[in-house]
Structure formats: C-alpha cells, structure tokens
Amino acid sequence: MRNRSTRMLALLLACACAAPAVAQDTEHGDPGHDDAEDMGRMPVPRLAAPAWDKESLELFATLPVQDGGRVKPLDTMAQFTLLALNGSRTLRLPSGEKRSHIEWLLDCLFYPEIARNYPCFLVNTGEAVAALGVPTHDKKRDRYAYSELQPGRAHMLELARHYESIEARNRSSVEQQILDLAHNVFRFEELIQFLDFARARFTAAEGSALAAAITDPQGAVTSELVALLDRVSDEVLAQGDTMGAEQVERERQVMSEVYFQQLMPVMTCAQAIACIPSPDRDERQWYSPGELPHLALDQGQPRPELLGLLGHFEKMAANREARLAAGDDAEANAALDAAFVEELRGFRGAVIPEAEARGEYDRVPLEVFFYRAKFVFYSQWLYVLSFVLVAISWLLPRRRIVDWAVSLSVWAPTLLLVAGITLRCIIRNRPPVTTLYETILFVTAVAVTVAMCIEWINRRRIAVAVASFLGMLGMFLAYRYEIKEGVDTMPSLIAVLDTNFWLATHVTTVTMGYSAGLLAGAIAHLYIFCRLFGIRRDDIDFNRGLTRMVYGVLCFGILFATVGTVLGGIWANDSWGRFWGWDPKENGALLIVLWGLIILHARLGRYIRDLGIHMSAVAMGMVVAFSWWGVNLLGVGLHSYGFTSGIGLILKIFWIAESVVLLVGGFVWLLEHSGSRAALATLDPEDDARTA
C-alpha cells in the first residue's frame, strides 16, 4: 500500500521542476497576488462580523489544539494571540462594540475580509507606522487595522529583515516596534488565510483525465481533489501501456500543475492551527489541515476519516459565507447556525475521542475554566482593597472585629491566588514553579502567607500591612509581565527543566528563599523610615518587634536558599556532570547564601545591631532581585533560558531606589550617632560617672 502511495507522489514530483512555479512569499506564506490591488477591489459589507451563538463559541473554546509544544484549548491560543497583537484580550471596535478573543479568532478564520478592518495592532508610537510610509493616527499610541498597514507591508517586511540582523540590545525603540509589528502582521495573515483551502475550487486542463473526473462545473473542493488525485494517478499508472507515453506524460503534467500550483499554495497557508491528532496514537505530534493531503495518502489510498475532517472545514466555511449573505433574516440565520454547529460537532466528534485516547484532553476544559475565572486579575484588585482597609484600620482603635476584617481582606485574595497556582499545577501536571511568570505568583503567595503568620503571632498590624502591599505589588507585576510578553504562561518545558522531582525540590526551595529575602527587605523599610521620622522612637517593644520579624524571616530565607542551592548543585551534577560551574545563575544563588551568612555572623559578633540588621535586609532584597531576574539579562551560561525583554530598566529603578533607602539608613545612623555624642558631651563629670 505504501509503495503505491510512493509511486503516486513520485508521479507528481516528476514534473515539479518542469511546472511553472507559483509566485509566493514563502517566508510569509502569502500566495502570489497583489494584496493592495485586492484590498481596492474587496468591498467591506460590515464593520463587524455577524454575532456568534454561545454554543459555537463554547465548542470552539474547548477544542483541543497543539501549540507551543503542548495540547491546550483553542481559547488559550486565541487569547494570547490577541494579547500579543492588541495588548488586551478584548478587541474594541470603532463602533464601541467589543469582541472577545475567541470571537476575534473566529472572525479572522471565517470572515477574513471583515477582520482585516479590525484595529487589532497596538503600536506604541506613530513613528513606527510613519516609517512604513502609511498614514498615522492623531494619537501617538493607538491601534491600527491590517487594511491600514497593508499598503506598507512590503516595506515593513524589508525593514524587519534588516532589523532582525541587528543584535537586540543595539536596536532602537522604533526598530524593535517595526520588527514586532512585522511578526504580528505575519501571525495575523496566517489566521485570515487559514481557511483559504476550504473556500478554494480546483480545475484541471480540459481533455485530461483529472478534468473528466471533476464533475462539479465550479471545480472540486479540497477533500474531493485529494481523493481524485489518488484515483486518477492510479488509473494512469494502470493504463500506462495502452495510453501511450505522450498521453501519460500529459496526464502527469496536468496533475503536477494542479497539485503544486493550485493545491499546495492554499494548503501551505493552513498551517497556523494544529488541531488534528496524529492517526498514530504513539506519535505525540498534531497536524494542521495543511498537512492532511499528505497524511490522507500516507497509506496508499485516501483515508476517509482524514478527508472527512477537511470536509467539515469546507462545509463550515461555506455555511459562514451563506450566513453573511443572509443578513438579518432571523429564520435563515437560525437554520444556518444550527447547520454550522452540527458540522462543528462532527469535527469535534472525530478529534476529541482521539485526544482522549491519547490522554491529552482531560485537562482542556479545566484550562478554559482557569482563564475564565481570572484568579490573578481578581486577586490583584482584592489586594488593593485589602491595602486600603489596612490603611483605614491604622486610624481606628484596636478592636477584634477590625483585626478580623483586615486579616480576612488579605486572606481572601491569597486563597484565590493559591487556588490559581494549584489549578495551574493540575493543568500542567507540574510543580508550582516552572517559568519566570510562575515565580512571581509563588514568591507573592509565600511572602504574603509568611507575613500573615507573623501577624497571627504578634498582632501589631505591621506584617498584615506589608502582606497586603506585597500581594498588590506581586499581582501587578504578574499582570504586567503577562501583558508585556504576550505569550502562553504555561508553555512546554525545555529539556533541561523537564523533571518534576528537581522542579519540586530545588526550584521550589530556592524560590521560597527569594520570598523570604524580599519580605525581610520590605519590613526593614518600615523600620528605617520610622527611625528617620521619629515614629514610635521611644516604643522599645515596637522597634524590637520589627527587628525580630526581620531577623526571623532572614533566617527562614537563608535556610531555604542554602538547601535549594545545594540541591541545585546535585541536579547540575546529575544533568551536566559537575556540581558547580560558576554559572551566573549559580553565582546569584551563592550570593544570597553568602550575604545571609554575613548578616548572621555580623549579628552574632555584634558588628551590627537593630539598624544594621534592617539595612542588611534591604541589601538582601537587592541581591535577591539580581539572582532572580538580573542574571537572566546576561544571556550567558547554562541557565540563560529566562531572558525577559524590558526588565533591565525596572531592575535599575529598583536598585537605585533601594540604594537611596540604604543612604537614608546611613543618614539615620549618622544623625543618631552624632546626637548621642553631643548628649554625652553635655553631661557634667558627676553625671558622666553615674552614667558610666
């Protein structure tokens, strides 16, 4: 059977070189036609596509696809694609209407002529658009439609190719924006051209066997053409002796032209969404519709189940064209929607059982629920509310009900955050920390939990205030990180990290050390500024309580940082054959341990006391920030897989701010030290003797 398939493919390939090539931008998958000319001819009947019914949206949202090396819901792919292009998961049209990410994606697939006019490309400065030679908006930072950018597309791709050869750190802001915009335009074009194969009709030269086999006057659809190519090529091979060499050559030429000049260009565009599991259940790869013609003929004859999947796409695309033509005819629209859902259910009925048999679908609905629940978003605003309540509570007299209300306001978003982290672990079947984004969530959760435990012990309303502030700050950073990167925050792991044991031990332990170091530094800020402004200067219990908090949290952090660093060495020895290699990330972890040991020994030797401990804790926060994020910016070493663009400026601002806090602490020490000397100088000898 496979030999027969090989002969058929060889029959087509024999004339590939002789057949005239189709003009095509292979890098960007754009078939050879003038888009500008098409845009001038193409009428735009509506500002927005017809509304999608809830059932279709739900069926598409929970459709499994393979993207970024893992199987996920189409809903997840849609939201991060729109987030990368638009800077938001929701698209706002000029009319004020909003389209969700899944509605936007379906509009791109089924109504591309309308989606071209959606303002979905966020551009931070008009200079990047002006460089393309197209008109800019009045607002410096605004969103543009593909139809607006399309006239400058050729120039944009030319600039992008040039800028891509420049090292990232040497690109200007405008150059980076043009490069990002080119990538986003390419991603958008992949979507609006994805179903071109489902709308295409194919014909063959008159008088050929293939033309005789195509019975529809409008031409054959994709699924029909694939079956006909196999059947006709089989007939040509069988009748080769009776047809004559010249006729066989002509038939081969006709089929080659149809295959390479008509079928392949549209199938090349259908690569953006891998929504079809491999027929071989032992193979983890999923395929896009563009790869189905080859798969359908892989066993030497058209595979009905694969051709049927192409047929579902063709019928759904035809249905949406009819839906657009129906306008406001409610009865016709209802019938078309029902037929569309039926085809969609047919496609899901062929795909999802295969995904379930491979164990790749069970967590897809859970992931849809996770993102719809918006754990991070709601916890962020609940932390803001808790911080406001904490601030108000400082103005109120001490009452148990107030303390309970404040504690509850902090625990509520913390439990919401912990629930989100837990669901992420279940969805990915991984420990809680595998990416830089997840370190933000975990560090925040641990820091807030430890602070609330401290508050439960001493009940001074100090730790709870720090907890609400750190929670608010951590969730804000997580949200901004997600917006900035615009990529799936639950990606598949690179090979060096693909081990749940070491992720659960080394990575989790080290991250807990990060949490404690940052928490100690945050509490130390209160002590330093209270000393500066003379707040509760004579309250010995208050000052000693803060010092005990910081010292205890530092000890907690040093313990976990040390254990985590040792475990990291053992992992390195297991993976790379050496315990220590002076890698930047290893050096960063060692710096945390060494600085912690310096603090402990300086405290035991009485080289530093209360103020010194707090200043050292602030410095610990700076060291943690360097180990956590700073070493990733170096881009070297075996741990250089966590680079995040744009974090360098934030780190510099943080380090400058913390350096100012340390200067403030030094100023407080000098002020108090000089004051104590002056007080001693005013004592008379008798008082001085009594004091001594």
pLDDT tens by residue, 116-136: 999 999 999 999 999 999 999
Please compute the mean of the pLDDT values over residues 343-355 and round it to a whole number: 95
Percentage of residues of the chain with pLDDT beyond 70: 87
Q: How much is the CA Rg of the chain, to the nearest whole Å? A: 32
pLDDT score at 37? 39
Tell me: the pLDDT tens digits for 567-616?
999 998 888 888 988 888 889 999 999 999 999 999 999 999 999 999 99
Dihedral, 192, 198, 200, 206 alpha carbons, nearest 10: 160
According to DSSP, residue 32 is labeled S
CA distances from 399 to 409, 412, 461, 464 (A): 16, 20, 12, 15
> Distance between CA 621 and CA 627 in Å, rounded?
10
With the CA atoms of 683, 684, 687 and 688 taken in that order, what torsion angle do they form, in degrees rounded to the nearest 10?
Answer: 70
Q: pLDDT at residue 41 above 50?
A: no
Q: What pLDDT sits at residue 245?
A: 83
Q: Is 533 exposed, middle or buried (0-12, 13-18, 19+ CB in 10 A)?
A: exposed
Query: What was the pLDDT predicted at 47?
Result: 72
Residues in the chain: 692
Mean pLDDT of the residues in the chain: 87
Structure confidence at residue 5 as a pLDDT band (50, 70, 90): very low
Instruction: Please give the pLDDT value at position 22.
Output: 36
pLDDT at 9: 40
Task: Pull the structure tokens for residue 550.
Answer: 């910081």
Residue 242 pLDDT exceeds 80: no
Tell me which of 682 and 591 has the higher pLDDT: 591
Return the pLDDT at 239: 81
pLDDT, position 409: 96
Q: What is the pLDDT of residue 621?
A: 96
Of the candidate ranges 144-153, 289-298, 539-548, 610-619, the one whose mean pLDDT is the lowest: 289-298
The sign of the torsion formed by the CA atoms of 469, 472, 476, 479 equals: positive
Q: If you average pLDDT over residues 548-561, what whole number do you get?
A: 96
Does residue 652 carry a pLDDT above 50?
A: yes
Beta strands in 256-348 (DSSP E): 276-277, 286-287
Rounded to 5°, angle at Cα 361 from 359 and 362: 85
Q: Is 70 exceeded by the pLDDT of residue 666?
A: yes
- DSSP annotation of 451: H
Lowest mean pLDDT among 259-273, 293-307, 549-563: 293-307
Does 650 score more than 90 pLDDT?
A: no
Q: How far apart are CA 582 and CA 648, in angstroms?
A: 22
Return the closest-CA partner of residue 496 out of 637, 629, 591, 633: 637
* pTM, full prediction: 0.86
| pLDDT for the residue 42 | 41
Token pair belonging to 610:
């209360």
Q: Is the pLDDT of residue 220 over 80?
A: yes
Kindly report the number of other CB atoms within 10 A of residue 315's CB atom: 20
Instruction: Assess whether pLDDT exceeds 50 at residue 29.
Output: no
Give the domain ranges of the chain. 30-194, 374-487, 513-692
pLDDT at 33: 42
| SS3 category, 109 | helix
Band (23; pLDDT cuts 50, 70, 90): very low
pLDDT at 490 over 90: yes
Strand pairing report for 98-100 and 119-123: unpaired
State the pLDDT at residue 646: 64
| Residues 596 and 558 sit within 8 Å (Cβ to Cβ) | yes
Q: Write the single-letter amino acid at 281.
A: R
- Give CA–CA dist 345/349, Å, rounded: 6
Give the model's pLDDT for residue 662.
Answer: 96
pLDDT at residue 195 greater than cutoff 80: yes
Confidence band for 686, pLDDT divided at 50, 70 and 90: very low
Cα angle 614-379-371, degrees, rounded to a multiple of 5: 135
Asked if pLDDT for residue 427 goes beyond 90, the answer is yes
- Here the tokens at position 12 are 């087509």
Can you read off the two tokens belonging to residue 491? Answer: 């990606």
Name the pairing type of β-strands 24-25 and 30-31.
Answer: antiparallel
User: What DSSP letter does each residue of 626-662 carry, written as one string?
Assistant: HHHTGGGGG--STTTT---TTHHHHHHHHHHHHHHHH
| Structure token pair of residue 138 | 């009045």
State the pLDDT at residue 688: 41
Burial class of residue 539, CB neighbours in 10 A (0-12, 13-18, 19+)? exposed
pLDDT of res. 673: 80
**Beta bridge partners of residue 70, listed in sequence order:** 67
The predicted structure's pLDDT at residue 300: 55
675 confidence band (pLDDT: 50, 70, 90) = low
Q: What letter would DSSP give residue 496?
A: G
DSSP SS3 for 220: strand
Q: Using the predicted structure, report yes or no on whether residue 31 has a pLDDT greater than 70.
A: no
Which stretches does DSSP call E strand in 60-105?
A: 64-67, 70-73, 90-92, 98-100
d(CA 119, CA 107): 13
CA within 13 Å, CB half, 229: 37
So what's the pLDDT on residue 111?
A: 96
In eight-state DSSP terms, residue 290 is G
**From CA 613, how far away is CA 63, in angstroms rounded?**
55
d(CA 242, CA 248): 10
Decide which of 691 and 405 is more confident: 405
Q: Are 409 and 389 spatial neighbours (Cβ–Cβ below 8 Å)?
A: yes
Residue of 49, 101, 110, 105 lying closest to 79 (CA atoms)? 101
Residue 549 clears pLDDT 90, i.e. is over it: yes
pLDDT of residue 394: 85
C-alpha distances in Å from residue 255, one per residue of 11, 202, 251, 297, 311: 9, 11, 6, 15, 21
3-state secondary structure 40-56: HHCCCCCCCCCCCCHHH
How much is the pLDDT for 374?
94
Contact 308, 220 (CB under 8 A): no
3-state secondary structure of 287: strand
Q: What is the mean pLDDT of residues 242-262?
A: 88
Q: With contact defined as beta carbons under 8 Å apart, do 85 and 101 qualify?
A: no
Cβ-based neighbour number of residue 613 at 10 Å? 21
pLDDT in tens, 438-467: 999 999 999 999 999 999 998 888 999 999
Q: What are the backbone dihedrals phi and psi of residue 100, each rounded to the nearest 5 degrees, phi first?
A: -70, 170
Q: Is the dihedral of CA 454, 457, 462, 465 positive or negative?
A: positive
pLDDT of amino acid 631: 84
| 644 pLDDT tier (thresholds 50, 70, 90) | low
